[in-house]
């Protein structure tokens, strides 16, 4: 698996059939025992900058793996979809059923955007209420 096809960043994985989504963060650990490892985390709280919980690795040699203490059907499904999209692209059985969108920053306040509509609009819901005046 060439894990360089997906870069470190924050992504929103959207089920296009149901409209449900989950926000994922992929990053490389910079220090400590896990230095150099790529971790997949999911957004678990309201703070879309910091409320992430790690649950798996992206390995250059072996692909994607869920941590032993985080193994459950939902986490496996998320990583199986992510792996299929990375490796197979348009040939993935998930292609057309899910989208993987890179997060953007709000044009008004510069906060990270994670919901599908906000990513599309380029502005978050609070800033829309305030209007586009800068």
Per-10-residue mean pLDDT of the chain, 134 residues long, equals 67 92 95 94 92 91 85 92 80 84 92 92 89 59
Residue 106's pLDDT is 93
Model pLDDT, residue 87 = 75
pLDDT of 128: 87
The answer to whether the CB of 65 falls within 8 A of the CB of 79 is yes
Domain ranges of the chain: 3-102, 105-134
Position 61 scores a pLDDT of 62
Say what the pLDDT of residue 62 is. Answer: 61
The pLDDT value recorded for residue 91 is 77
């Amino acid at each position: 698996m060439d894990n360089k096809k997906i870069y470190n960043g924050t992504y929103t994985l959207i089920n296009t059939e149901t409209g449900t989504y989950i926000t994922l963060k992929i990053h490389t650990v910079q220090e400590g025992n896990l230095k150099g490892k790529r971790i997949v985390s999911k957004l678990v709280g309201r703070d879309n900058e910091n409320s992430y919980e790690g649950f798996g690795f992206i390995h250059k040699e072996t692909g994607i793996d869920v941590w032993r203490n985080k193994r459950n059907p939902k986490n496996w499904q998320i990583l199986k979809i992510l792996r299929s999209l990375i490796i197979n692209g348009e040939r993935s059985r998930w292609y057309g059923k899910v989208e993987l969108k890179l997060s953007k920053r709000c044009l008004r306040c510069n906060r990270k955007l994670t919901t599908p509509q906000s990513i599309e609009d380029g502005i978050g819901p609070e800033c829309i209420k305030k209007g586009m005046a800068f």
